Amino acid sequence: MTDSTYCSKSWTDVNLDFETRTLRHCCKAEGHSFPETLTEQFISIDSIIQQRREKSLNNVAHEDCNSCWKDYAKGNSAYRDWANRWTDNFIGNHKTLLGDDKFIHYIEVKTDSTCDLACIYCSHTSSSKIAQEEGVSIEAKTKEEDYLVFKSWIKNHIQREDLHYGQLLFVFLGGEPTASERFYELVDFIEEAASTTDKSIRLEICTNGNSKKFLMDKIIAKMDTSKLSWGIGISNESYGETAEFIRHGLDWQRYTENFKRYIQHPKTELIVLSPTVNIFNLKTFPEYIAWVYEQFKMYAPQKQFTWYGNYISWPDEMDVAHLPKEYIKYVEQAEQVVLECSMANNVFKENFTTFLETMKQRIGSAYNPEYKQVAQEFLNRKQQVKKTDKLIKLMENLDL
């Protein structure tokens, strides 16, 4: 574990979930419920986040960040290892500014959990498809007033002259954001608010890339008329049939077609490849990386793209920490593919190689000699819920 406890996410990020009425500063942090009446102060500089910022600068491990502290306690790498962008020098040079909200530039928004996929590592709180499978009724706590306050905060934040950032990013999550009507409403509002400033503002979505044609046409039409640049985060980590099984409901052919449309669109400023590494994807991960590179070489050789990885820690059965060290060979194969890629448009390449290094450290750190039995029982449970007999084929990916 690192000696310091600060992380830039405590200052730069705001993550709002309007369906559950919760706020985070970092997607991995503990969530805090909105007050009965949401305020602009609560969004960016409430006493909760002020306390976290202060404690982390004094090397106190704040409980909001337990996800990372637990990983460190197990001897694993943690999200903070590649998500923190600040150094001791940066902290030292900006001490007089760190008590404020001047660095907020990464605003993540989840309007609802509407989704067409039922990924085997996801839950009913993030996928309406899973809720339907499990017979769970989701109670949306959304208040219309919350959106009004948020819109006011956006307008005021955009107009501030004391902000410290290179670009203001509005990132829409799901579910699947392209299926959310609120997403299009907020995009229109941000576009209008942005028209009154010369600040650099980018709209982003994190999509599963599986949108059917009518939804894909809808988001492309929105991008066509947009006056802002766009970032497209594409969430996938496997190739072909393996991807279809892990991301239950995915159509690989549709995914490949949508992928090409996103990377070729003239308004797309940056593509972010967002793999979620787990025990079942390791075997095809190098093939997926190679496939991605090939798509850019063929269809968008000038388009900037980067990788921003994550890994499964829940469900615990899918955590690569339980695998034997021999599985590191697949990460080494992935590293070799990345090493051989000489494309100048693959930006921030070093961040991905750092992520892959942390994955090698994680594999085997909590080795379970019964990992195959645990994995098979997990897949059998998933098959019953999803009414399929195909997921068990993922066990083939555990054959070294």
Domains contained in the chain, CATH given: 1-11+23-98 (no CATH), 105-398 (3.20.20)
The distance from CA 300 to its chain's CA centroid, rounded to whole angstroms, is 23
Res. 400 pLDDT band, cuts 50 70 90: confident
Tokens representing residue 190 in the block = 């941000």
Q: What number is the average pLDDT over the span 294-298?
A: 97
Closest among 67, 60, 12 to 310, alpha carbons compared: 67
- What proportion of the chain, given as a percentage, has pLDDT over 70? 99
How many angstroms separate the CA atoms of 35 and 51, rounded? 17
Q: Under a CB-based contact definition with an 8 Å cutoff, are residues 114 and 179 in contact?
A: yes
The more confidently predicted of residues 396 and 72 is 396
Q: Which residue has the tokens 């406890």?
A: 5
Inter-axis angle of helices 252-264 and 285-299, nearest 10: 40
Comparing CA positions, the residue from 148, 144, 113 lying closest to residue 127 is 113
102-123 per-position pLDDT tens digit: 999 999 999 999 999 999 999 9
Cβ atoms 270, 231 nearer than 8 A = yes
Q: Which residues of 165-191 are buried (b: 16+ CB within 10 A; e: fewer)?
A: eeebbbbbbbbbbbbbebbbebbeebb
Question: Encoding tokens for residue 233?
Answer: 């985060």
Place of tokens 């897949």: 379
| pLDDT value at residue 2 | 54
176-195 per-position pLDDT tens digit: 999 998 999 999 999 999 99
Average pLDDT of 305-325?
Answer: 95
Indicate the Cα dihedral angle 322, 348, 106, 170, nearest 10°. -100
124-180 pLDDT per residue, tens: 999 999 999 999 988 889 999 999 999 999 999 999 988 888 889 999 998 999 999
pLDDT, tens digit (0-9, with 9 covering 90-100), for 357-370: 999 999 999 999 99
Kindly tell me the sign of the dihedral angle through the C-alpha atoms of 81, 84, 85, 89.
negative
Residue 1, pLDDT > 80, answer: no
CB atoms within 10 A of CB 257: 14
Whole-number Å distance between alpha carbons of 141 and 127: 16
Angle of helix 349-362 relative to helix 328-340, nearest 10 degrees, comes to 170
Q: Are 314 and 79 in contact (CB under 8 A)?
A: no
- Residues shown for the chain: 400
| Distance in angstroms (rounded) separating the CA atoms of residues 84 and 95 | 17
> Whose CA is closest to 157, among 316, 14, 336?
14
Say if CB 259 and CB 295 are below 8 A apart.
yes
Peptide bond into 315 cis (omega under 30): yes
pLDDT, tens digit, 9 for 90 and up, residues 132-142? 999 998 888 99
- CA–CA separation, 152 vs 157, rounded Å? 8
Going by C-beta distance under 8 Å and a sequence separation of 6 or more, which residues neighbour residue 22? Answer: 16, 31, 32, 33, 34
